[in-house]
Amino acid sequence: MIMNKRDVLELRKRLKADQCNIDHLAGCYVDGTKNKVVRLNEFFPQLELVELQKYLEIAKKALGGTIGNNILELEFPSEEEQPGGKQQLLCGLRADGLKNEELLDAFYDQIIKGYRCDGNFLILIFHDTYDVITKTSDRMKLDESEEVYEYLLTTICPVMLSKPGLGYLSEENRIGARIRDWVVGAPELSFLFPAFDDRSADIHRVDYFVKDAKDSHPDFIEDVLGCGVKRTKTEKQQTFTAIVKHAFRQDEEKAEEVLFELEESLSLRAGEETKESETLSAPLEISEEVLSEILQENEIEEEPARQIIESVKQEFSGEEVALSDLIDEKALKHYAPVKRERELVKEVESLKQRLDQNETPERPLTESVDSSSERAFDVTLQVNDEIASEISARRIGDRNYILIPYDDGQSIRVNGESRTYEV
């Protein structure tokens, strides 16, 4: 099982002063040169209410985001679950409730070494226990415990100088430049150990949260948690975009058009296959076969198609990539009117070419002619009203002729072509 949105919300809604069971809070403030400036280790319920609520706000923000994009589930390799492994260190911290300063210091060192950051930051670790109440199939609660979920929530927050500005200086009773303070910002990344999957603990996994889906901090995943790198949906989209644009690097406009056409085809394919497989439990993954079919459907030339297939295989080797992971829904929505506009331009150009080639006979705009009635006659004339009354017929020799009077300088067109007649 993997974490779902309901699991995240269940934990987040408990993070209130009167509902959570957080008993310990540990942390370390690190400056820009990687020095440990301040350590803290507090019995959480004894904090002043205002301070306690501020910490809970940070914890709530740490558990925010979208599954698969801001929230990833990582699995520990077997070697990290052995003595000395990174999972074992987390197990030790959880077991003693953040009371072992030696373990905490080793953990801080691990984070400081693996977290790539130029500025100051604050490491916070919450120790909490949640008595998971049994729920029926219709999500109704029963008054009995299913299990006690004991976990650590670790967050890393940037610490930045407040913006300069003016303020009221009460001691001097005047307006002046206010003192700039170091302020703790929202978490850049955080992780929950053990993972909370289907309302149960999984010590073999960790739930990992990132604020910016464009940067999953792969070095942190490998060096601090010891897990295999896993990209967010946004990062996968960026990689696919770069692959397509590189294949059409000589023509940027075409590259953009091809990218959206491919994403549109991927979206349609994902929707069709999902409808056909109503019982589908896992997202449909991209494969060489599916990608080849989509490239053929969009009539992509042989060489760029080959480059795209080879690059996708190389970039996403060994990684689970669903069709939906490569689709930027917002960009597609934005592209829809652009695509329609381009189609209309092509239609107008086609009509202009047909008119230039005289594919349709010209008629007065004010007159509607029934094509079936035209075919009922051998001769059809279109003349000005003043000339119509002067038209006559005459037999010359052994043939009949229709005589149409005209003055010098009047224009004459026959079957769409201008004619000049000399008398």
Q: What is the DSSP string of 15-32?
A: -STTT----EEEEEEE-T
Q: Is the pLDDT of residue 346 over 60?
A: yes
CB distance 119 to 158 below 8 Å: yes
Q: What is the pLDDT of residues 139-161, one digit of tens each?
A: 566 666 678 999 999 999 999 98
Give the C-alpha separation, 161 to 185, whole Å: 10
413: its two tokens: 């067109």
**CA 397 centroid distance within chain:** 84
304: CB partners within 8 A, 6+ apart: 247, 248, 258
First to last CA, the chain: 96
Amino acid (one-letter) located at 111: I
Nearest residue to 327 (alpha-carbon basis) of 402, 238, 251: 238
- What is the pLDDT, as a whole number, of residue 277? 52
Predicted TM-score (pTM) of this structure? 0.72
Give the C-alpha separation, 297 to 265, whole Å: 8
Q: What is the pLDDT of residues 234-265, one digit of tens each?
A: 999 999 999 999 999 988 888 888 888 898 88
More confident residue, 204 or 269: 204
User: Environment class of residue 315 by beta-carbon count within 10 Å: exposed (0-12), middle (13-18) or buried (19+)?
Assistant: middle
180: its two tokens: 């700039």
Residue 379: other Cβ atoms inside 10 A: 5
Q: Which residues pair with 268 in a beta bridge?
A: none
Give the C-alpha separation, 182 to 29, whole Å: 11
- What is the pLDDT, as a whole number, of residue 274? 55
Long-range pairs for 61-65: beta carbons < 8 A, 24 or more residues apart: 61/186, 61/187, 62/153, 62/155, 62/187, 62/190, 62/209, 63/8, 63/11, 63/12, 63/15, 63/153, 63/190, 63/192, 63/209, 64/12, 64/209, 65/209, 65/210, 65/211, 65/213
The answer to whether the peptide bond before residue 194 is cis (omega within 30 degrees of 0) is yes
Give the C-alpha separation, 247 to 250, whole Å: 8
421: its two tokens: 């007649």
Amino acid (one-letter) located at 422: E
| 3-class secondary structure, 399 | strand
Give the C-alpha separation, 5 to 191, whole Å: 15
> What's phi and psi for 132, nearest 5 deg?
-75, 115
- What is the pLDDT, as a whole number, of residue 38? 94
DSSP string across 372-386: HHHTT-S------HH
- Token pair 């003349």 is found at 383
Amino acid (one-letter) located at 308: I
Q: What is the pLDDT of residues 268-308, one digit of tens each?
A: 887 765 555 554 455 567 888 889 999 998 989 999 999 99
Q: What is the pLDDT of residues 48-72, one digit of tens each?
A: 999 999 999 999 999 988 888 899 9
**CA 160 centroid distance within chain:** 28
Q: Per mean pLDDT, which of 41-45, 64-68, 342-346 is the most reliable?
A: 41-45
With residue 346 as reference, give the H or E element that holds it: helix 329-356
